[in-house]
Amino acid sequence: MSDGKRKGFKVKINNLLIIIFFLVTNIGVMFLLYPSLILDTVDNGHWLIVLIHGFSHIALFGLLLFGVSKLKEPNILKNLPKKRWAVSLTLLVPISLFIIGTVIVAIRTYAEFTTVLFLNQTPMFYVMVIFITTAGYIGLGSMESIFRTTFLIAATSSYVIVVIFILSFFNAEWYNFFPAKVSNFDFLLEMPFITGFLILSPTFLFIAFLPKGKKFNYKTVFWFSWLLILFIFMAAYSPMLVFGNEIARNFTFPYIEMLATVDIDWSIFETLTSLFGLSLLIYATLFLGMLLHILRTLYQSIFQTSKLHASIAMVIIVIFITAVANMISTWEQVQSHIIWIVPLRFYTFISLLIFIFWIGRRDKHET
């Protein structure tokens, strides 16, 4: 076996790891809050929202991928200019804040979901602690190890997810797809749409922070990201197909409620809901772990400290996050906090893209 051949293999496998991570985290993030956001946006013609969201996600992901693929080093932190503080202030600190905000809201949401589904009596604080501890443990590893963890988790749980995806259309009635007419485009400027717009984008962040020497085929990864539209469609439409949109919007977690209606005789478990919920929760924990990992590298880069120092700082930030998340007491507040993060989200991605573009220009001029 020649060296070139072996490198060829290496490329392929990294593709697979990245694709699996991308899909798994998106599944983990998508099925809780996202369906109700889409349902809230309009009264009829949800397919348009699904398509707009899907294409905008793919466009953003494609832009990020394209930008990173042109860089010499895929990790933007390796490309920082000498005047570090300027970039730190304008780019890295907002990203960190964005990540912290996302983690706080996500932790709270998943804890809420857990207490609804499994641990009725357990105080939410402890549920949050177990999530954040696990995510922190995952985040302390290298990014490579997070990818490999995801691979193992996907290998053990993906078949459950596939079966559930198929069964989620078990009770579907085709006529509930309608009303499908698009009456107007007022929704584009309304809050539910803006809140939901690019809400999955935190799962793309890792693309800008890949470890050095990671070479993969950007095109393959991009084509696989089209599966996202399918997932969004499933998240929004399978509860609608079962209940009809006027009822699906009554539920806090429409997709989960839809799964609760599936009555299967052959499983050893009573409902699919718990199985799916568990898969979602571990996928989401992986996602949180990745965010915390990025946070750690950001900290390391902003303050130029050692790895150990950054790890300790991450633990402290995690404690802070738990404390803040514990202060959010009602579900209403969670929803208002999601809106708070929205400007940060747009700022983060626009500045990230501009920064990548700038690095590309700089590299070009240097050579």
In DSSP notation, 313-350 reads: HHHHHHHHHHHHHHH--SHHHHHHHHHHHHHHHHHHHH
Taking CB under 8 A as the criterion, the residue among 56, 69, 134, 326 binding another protein is: 134
Q: Which residue, 18 or 356, is less far from another protein as judged by CB?
A: 18
306 is a contact residue toward another protein (CB under 8 A)? no
Contact criterion met (CB below 8 Å) for 252 and 36: yes
Q: Considering the complex, what minimum distance in angstroms separates the CB of residue 153 from another protein?
A: 5
- Please give the residues from 165 up to 204 whose contact with another protein meets the rule CB under 8 A: 173, 175-181, 183
| Cβ atoms 294, 99 nearer than 8 A | yes
DSSP state of 211: P
Quick one: CA dihedral 73, 27, 224, 361, positive or negative? negative
Quote the least distance from Cβ 170 to another protein, whole Å: 12
Beta carbon nearer to another protein, 271 or 326: 271
Q: Which of residues 106-125 bind another protein (CB under 8 A)?
A: 114, 116, 118-123
**How far is residue 186's CA from residue 113's CA, in Å, rounded to a whole number?**
32
If one asks whether residue 274 binds another protein (CB under 8 A), the answer comes out as: yes
Q: What is the biggest distance separating any 2 CA atoms in the chain, rounded to whole angstroms? A: 66
206-245 binders of another protein (CB under 8 A): 213, 243-245
Instruction: Confirm or reject binding of residue 40 to another protein (CB under 8 A).
Output: no
In the chain the first and final C-alpha atoms are separated, in Å, by 35
Stretch that binds another protein, among 49-57, 65-73, 132-140, 342-350 (CB under 8 A): 132-140
Region near another protein per CB under 8 A, out of 32-40, 55-63, 68-76, 148-156: 148-156
Residue 249 structure tokens: 């919007």
Using CB under 8 A as the binding rule, whether residue 6 contacts another protein is answered as: yes
Based on CB atoms, which residue is closest to another protein, 282 or 359? Answer: 282
- How big is the chain by its Cα radius of gyration, in Å? 21
330 binds another protein (CB under 8 A): no
- Which amino acid does the sequence have at 133? T
